Amino acid sequence: MAGKLVKLLSDLKEPEALAFVDKSLAEGADPMDLLGQAKEAMNIVGERFASEEYFIPDLVFSGEILKGIVKKLEPHLKKGEEEKRLGKVVIGTVAGDIHDIGKDMVVFMLDVNGFEVIDLGIDVPVQKFVDTIKETGSKVVGLSGFLTLAFQSMKETVDAIKAAGLRDKVKIMIGGGQIDDQVKGFTGADAYGKDAMAAVKLAKGWIGG
Amino acid sequence: MEKKWEEMSADEKQEAQFQKLLTPKDPEGNDLKFQTPEAEANYKASINRIKDAVQLKKTPDRVPVALLPSMFPFINAGMTIEEAMYDYDKTVAAFRKFILEFKPDMNIGAAQAGPGKFHEILDYKLYKWPGHGVAPEHSYQCVEGEYMKPEEYDLLITDPSFYFNHFYLPRVFGALEGFTMLPPPTGILEIYGVAFNFIPYALPPVQSTFKALFEAGAEALKWAMAIGGLNGELASLGFPNILGGFTKAPFDTIGDTLRGTRGIMVDMYRQPDKLLKAMDALVPIMIGMGIGSMQQTGNPQIFIPLHKGADGFLSDEQFKKFYWPTLRQVIVGLIEGGCIPFPALEGHWDSRLKVIQDVPKGKTMWMVDQSDMAKVKETLGKNACLMGNVPSSMLALATPDEVKAYCKKLIDTAGKGGGFIMMNGAFFDHAKPENIKAMVDVTREYGVYK
């Protein structure tokens, strides 16, 4: 039955996917194999999103189904090795801005594409970005913002990273409602991404994978 | 004999609305006294310019220019957003300064800051505002959440008003907790047992809710008097505000503040029929909301901020199934009621243009944020007046010369043959004043139709 869950999840068939997991577990299937299938399915979802076959509702719903599957698998999984990740990305909505939908979408896409994402949340103080870069040694930073006040907060964050002597150690990408290349220039970031897939592409370009 | 309002066609209603705007009244119902003959001439020229741009029947004398700021007037006046929300005299002074400094043909009044104390009295939980979760110098921001639960669609569909009173409002306004104890008013019938319905009004939580309501009402009125007075004053100086109110696309009504973005997207899969039924139930309510506020304010323009229909949010198929049908019904219903729908295409909408161009001609005005204006002109622009498209990033960061060059291009493309109003593309907090001035100046000079 290898691959059946891949198809059910990537086609967003929620009741069927969950029923399949129940049935497989009852029949003694390897939970690690099912988890692997779920991850493969999420990669397909990501690809479909990138090729504009899937849109945000589909992405959100796939995440919901995945949550349900993982909940069923968790009691059966042995604690142990984490899979190898491509690299670390620090991400957050900049100081003063509490919007999280766009940021969460980027976090989700980076995660399903194999990055270890350190999500600092919303209204993130400048120093918190600096400290986290130091602690984690992350090479990529994502700054999110929806309001025009974010232009200034992004610039201040980039400046603080520079002042901490970390600017040549990280690549910085920005994104959000009113963000464009002009804002990129103003903030001193390395790149601006239009959507979640752009963030994945940028991170892959910088980190590899 | 003059036709009665109900007997008029949509065309006649719109014409009557513009005639009313051309003969403005003061709060006592007398003809508005303009401060100078020049102010009167400017006021009427602006209204006529907007009328021509909206109706698409003739080219205006020049491209009108409108300014729809968010918190910019207050920031520009050197005050914090907290001051603008709590000191109505300061709000009014800043907005007056803004209008007199930039002199737009159209504005939408000084309501954007809102009355901070009113929000406090009702313990508003849907937003954070200065002093209540955000810094004094920052704007209020929405707190996304599932304020309506997934299993509550039937309640909403059956009786939206009762659902709002009993469930939704007490969740977003802490002080309205008492509403949860009130029975549906539709149970008040006959004489036997009628008194039972009124017992909850004797209970302390209900009474404290009503006390809060009286207090909140008084605060709202105080604020409205201040900004309404300014509207009259600015009109007498030649600067019209023709905004009559606002309403929403049913998909956004549910997706923004009831179920939230995540909630509505999951519902599209788990309970699509209920979502569609709920949106149907909201159509007459959203139309009534626009017409009701038009009657209250006397102004025809009804703003409709559009959010989750933007490019990327939904697939084409999802857009056509879930977003557009009920939005179109709201737009058409408003037009039939004598309103001028004023939808705002926030973000990018390039992939939706072929669908949304299907609106009655010469009856709507659309705020365009970042969509490709040339494409918008070729599609939606054939049937509707377009406004906006000067980017927030440009107003905040570019040079005045760059702004002027961009606006000239807009006048050449979107302004061709009329049907265009120069404006910022999105509500803005931060901008260089010299860039706003550049946008207005270049329109007054270069935007003249020959």
Closest partner CB to B265 (pick from A61, A123, A148) = A61
Which residue in chain B has the smallest CA separation from A63? B266
Q: Which CATH number do you get for residue B403? A: 3.20.20
Closest residue of A to B314, CA-based?
A55
- Residue B59's pLDDT is 96
Task: Measure A81 CA to nearest chain B CA, in Å.
Answer: 31
Same domain, A44 and A110: no
Contacts of B426 in chain A (CB under 8 A): 177-178
A180 touches chain B (CB under 8 A): yes
CA dist list (Å): A73 to A42, A59, A60, B152: 16, 21, 20, 30
Q: Show the CA angle centred on residue B344, arms to residues B339 and B347, nearest 5°.
A: 170
- Residues B249 and B330: beta-carbon distance below 8 Å: yes
Kind of pairing, strands A116-119 and A88-93?
Answer: parallel
Q: Which amino acid is at B268?
A: M
Nearest residue of B to residue A104 by CA position?
Answer: B262
State the pLDDT at residue A146.
Answer: 87
Can you give the length of chain B in residues? 450
pLDDT in tens, B177-218: 999 999 999 999 999 999 999 999 999 999 999 999 999 999
B430 shares contact with chain A (CB less than 8 Å)? yes
How big, in percent rounded to 5, are the helix, strand and coil portions of chain B?
A: 60, 10, 30
What does the block give as tokens for B352? 């939706």
pTM score of the predicted model: 0.92
For residue A118, give the 3-state DSSP assignment. strand
Residue B209 domain flag:
no
Residues A125 and A192 in one domain: yes
Residue A98 with chain B: CB contacts under 8 Å: 128, 133-134, 141, 143
In DSSP notation, B65-114 reads BB---SSHHHHHTT--HHHHHH-HHHHHHHHHHHHHHH--SBB--STTS-
Range of the domain at B315: 5-54+66-117+217-446
Q: Which strand ranges, in their side-by-side order, compose the sheet holding B420-424?
A: B243-246, B301-306, B340-345, B365-368, B385-390, B420-424
- The number of folded domains in chain B is 1
List, in order, residues 6 or more apart from B179 with CB less than 8 Å away.
B165, B166, B169, B170, B206, B209
A124/A170 same-domain check: yes
Which residue pairs from B97-100 have beta carbons closer than 8 angstroms and sit at least 24 positions apart in sequence? B97/B73, B98/B67, B98/B69, B98/B72, B98/B73, B99/B234, B99/B237, B99/B239, B100/B237
**Chain A residues inside the 8 Å CB shell of B306:** none
Q: Is residue A34 domain-shared with residue A10, that is, in the same domain?
A: yes
Whether residue B405 has pLDDT greater than 90: yes
Mean pLDDT, residues B111-137: 95
pLDDT exceeds cutoff 50 at B82? yes
The β-bridge partners of B245 are: B302
In 3D space, the residue among B60, B47, B42 whose CA is nearest the CA of residue B19 turns out to be: B47
Which of B140, B393, B402, B432 is the best substitution to test chain A (most A C-beta atoms within 10 A)?
A: B393
Which of B278, B277, B239 lies closest to B258 in space, CA to CA? B278
Token pair, residue B74, equals 């207050």
Burial class (CB in 10 A: 0-12, 13-18, 19+), A54: buried
Q: How many whole angstroms separate alpha carbon B191 and alpha carbon B380?
A: 56
Which residues share a beta bridge with A192?
A: A174
Last residue of a domain, one of A55, A76, A97: A76
Q: Is B189 domain-assigned?
A: no
Residue A25 included in any domain: yes
Query: Which of B134, B144, B431 is nearest residue A96 as measured by Cβ atoms?
Result: B134
Q: Spell out which residues of chain B touch residue A193, defining contact as CB-CB under 8 Å.
A: none
C-beta separation of A202 from A86 below 8 A:
no
Contact (CB, 8 A) for B13 and B5: yes
**CATH number reported for the structural domain that contains residue A98 in this entry:** 3.40.50.280
Same domain, A192 and A152: yes
A154 found inside a domain: yes
Contacts of B104 (CB under 8 A, 6+ apart): B65, B66, B67, B239, B440
- Cα R_g (chain B), whole angstroms: 23
Indicate yes or no: CB of A61 within 8 angstroms of CB of B139. Answer: no
Q: CB of B226 within 8 Å of any CB in chain A?
A: no
Question: What is the pLDDT at residue A77?
Answer: 81
- Which residues in A lie closer than 8 A to residue B71 (C-beta atoms)? none
Per the CB < 8 Å rule, is B428 touching A64?
Answer: no
Written as six digits, the tokens of B278 are 């709920």
From B289's Cα to the closest Cα of chain A, the distance in A is 28
**A104 shares its domain with A188:** yes
Is B196 domain-assigned?
no
pLDDT value of residue A72: 94
Residue of A14, A64, A147 lying closest to B139 (CB–CB)? A147
Of A67 and B420, the structure prediction assigns the larger pLDDT to: B420
pLDDT digits (tens, 9 = 90+) for B245-296: 999 999 999 999 999 999 999 999 999 999 999 999 999 999 999 999 999 9
Of A12, A54, A55, the CB nearest to B269: A12
| DSSP assignment string, B170-197 | HHHBGGGGGGGGPPPGGG--SSTTGGGG
Domain-embedded: residue A83: no
What ipTM does this complex have? Answer: 0.87
Do A137 and A174 lie in one domain? The reply is yes
CA distance linking residue B42 with residue B192, whole number of Å: 63
Quick one: pLDDT at residue A101? 84
Residue B319, token pair as written in the block: 């857009």
**Checking phi first, is residue B139 left (phi over 0); if not, alpha (psi -120 to 50) or beta?**
beta
Q: Return the CATH number at A70.
A: 1.10.1240.10
Residues A52 and A109 in one domain: no
Residue B238 domain-assigned? yes
Domain boundary among A76, A102, A124: A76
State whether A61 and B266 contact (CB < 8 Å).
yes
Q: Does A192 touch chain B (CB under 8 A)?
A: no
Same structural domain for residues A67 and A105?
no
**Is residue B226 a part of any domain in this protein?**
yes
Residue-level pLDDT at A207: 87
Instruction: Confirm if B390 and B427 have CB atoms less than 8 A apart.
Output: no
Are residue A95 and residue A196 in the same domain, yes or no? yes
B269: chain A residues, CB-CB within 8 Å? 12, 14, 57, 61
The length of chain A, given as a count of residues: 209
Is the pLDDT at B1 greater than 70? The verdict is no
- Helix residue ranges, H only, A27-100: 31-50, 56-73
Measured distance CA(A100)–CA(A93) in Å, rounded: 7
Instruction: Name the residue among B414, B420, B422, B426 with its Cα closest to residue B346.
Output: B426
- Taking the C-alpha atoms of residue B356 and residue B349, their distance in angstroms, rounded to an integer, is 10
Cβ separation A149–B314 shorter than 8 A? no
One domain, residues A15 and A65: yes
Helix or strand (DSSP H, E) at A159: helix A149-163
3-class DSSP string for B324-363: HHHHHHHHHHHHHCCCEEEEEECCCCHHHHHHHCCCCCCC
Average pLDDT, chain B: 96
User: Are residues A98 and A37 part of one domain?
Assistant: no
Residue A82 lies in a domain: no
Closest residue of A to B398, CA-based?
A182
Q: How many domains does chain A have?
A: 2
Going residue by residue through chain A (209 aa), what tens digit of pLDDT does each one get?
458 999 999 999 999 999 999 999 999 999 989 988 998 999 899 889 888 999 989 999 999 999 999 999 988 887 665 567 889 999 999 999 988 888 988 998 898 888 999 999 999 999 999 999 999 999 999 999 988 889 999 999 999 999 999 999 999 999 997 888 899 999 999 999 988 888 999 999 998 75
> Can you list the alpha helix ranges (DSSP code H) found in B125-271?
153-158, 160-163, 169-172, 204-236, 250-252, 260-270
Looking at the domain assignment, is residue B408 inside a domain?
yes
B269, B307, B436: which to substitute to probe chain A, counting the most A Cβ within 10 Å? B269
Contact yes or no for B258/B167 (Cβ under 8 A): no
CA–CA distance, B259 with B244 (Å, rounded to integer): 27
Q: What pLDDT digit, counting tens, does each position of B154-182 carry?
A: 999 999 999 999 999 999 999 999 999 99
pLDDT computed for residue A82 by the predictor = 59
Contacts across the A-B interface (CB distance below 8 Å): 83
Domain, as residue range, for A48: 4-76
Q: Is B45 a member of any domain?
A: yes
Of A147, A175, A187, A191, give the one whose Cα is nearest residue B431: A147
Judge whether B277 and B334 are in contact, CB under 8 Å: no
Q: In which element (H, E) is residue B293 found?
A: helix B272-297
- Tell me phi and psi for residue B343, to 5 degrees: -75, 150
